[in-house]
Structure 1
């Protein structure tokens, strides 16, 4: 028997099209330029997203650092000025002790019966001043200084030739600072030129 040459499987265009019927077009596309464009756009979008995320991370870190600094300052202020309310209240006790000491006449200070009482009141005043110093409470200087509206409150004007106008010549109530903050202004009388 004579061998017949084998038929090669060559399909015609019509046959191929018939076979590919029903297959979605995106699977039939050979890719080419459209696929490269889509990849380029996707990469560009991802790069933009990455840059946005980097910026947001930097802003978040900066904000966190600012919040931390603010909180540290608040904690320091709370420690430094925690006694402010109590110190303001205890100032009236200190004022009354100072008035008590000033009101004792000299002859009673030397009297044997009152010496112990006077010494006790003076010791109590020194102790209060010591405790104020330990907590950063200090007395504001006033007498003989120019009026400072940040520390002194002028209550009256005193006509006099003995001091320059605007100089404090009388202190009615002592003023106090707690560290660098005003606790209570000094109530003072200020010199003015006589009429």
Structure 2
């Protein structure tokens, strides 16, 4: 009996508390849901920003890849240019007067001009060397040459031309540098 009475009193207390509790529980529940919503919004904004950053980076890489896709081919063509220049530099003075060689030499010169035009259209430029200060980003010093007129560190001899593809170095110029 006593147990029943205590049990009934506990039921009444629970009922009274439960009447007040839904408001408190609902308020706590709403606050919790708002907090979760804020966190979800922050995560969504972060994810959207990350996606945008990845998209921009990929676009930049795509542009770079397209701009420099022909780098390997351009490097290979430099040896052709070197060989044409070497052939033209070894032509004796009297060969141009000889009718048999004149057409041949004009053909080699026309080929060299066409290659220069192709290089220009594709953004391939020769690195300035002779008379310039040594720039380790564009020149590779092969020898030091005693020189009375040039300042030490100035390029006085070019052994092999260097080339740039737009703003990237394809091949450094191999040079001789003046020493004191």
Alignment TM-score > 0.5, same fold: yes
Q: CA deviation at 1:31?
A: 3.2
Q: CA deviation at 1:33?
A: 2.2
* Aligned equivalent of 2:39: 52
Q: CA deviation at 1:30?
A: 6.9
1:95 maps to which of 78, 82, 103: 82
2:140 maps to which of 122, 146, 153: 153
* Aligned equivalent of 1:64: 51
Aligned-residue RMSD, C-alpha: 1.8
Q: CA deviation at 1:28?
A: 5.5
Q: Whole-Å Cα distance in 1 between the matches of residues 156 and 17 of structure 2?
A: 101
Structure 1 stretches (4+) deviating beyond 3 angstroms? 27-31
Q: CA deviation at 1:41?
A: 1.1
Q: Whole-Å Cα distance in 2 between the matches of residues 90 and 77 of structure 1?
A: 21
Q: CA deviation at 1:32?
A: 2.5
Deviations 1:56-84 (A, max 9, x none): 01101110110111111011111110110
Are residues 1:83 and 2:63 paired? no
Q: Whole-Å Cα distance in 1 between the matches of residues 96 and 137 of structure 2?
A: 38
SS in 1 for 2:153: coil
Q: CA deviation at 1:52?
A: 0.4
Q: CA deviation at 1:106?
A: 1.1
Are residues 1:119 and 2:106 paired? yes
Q: Tell me, which stretches of 5 or more residues in structure 2 are unaligned?
A: none
Are residues 1:135 and 2:129 paired? no
Q: Whole-Å Cα distance in 2 between the matches of residues 85 and 67 of structure 1?
A: 27
Are residues 1:184 and 2:138 paired? no
**Count of matched residue pairs:** 171
Q: Tell me, which stretches of 5 or more residues in structure 1 are unaligned?
A: 1-16
Q: Whole-Å Cα distance in 1 between the matches of residues 19 and 122 of structure 2?
A: 81
* Aligned equivalent of 2:29: 42
Higher helix proportion, which one? 2
Structure index of larger Rg: 1
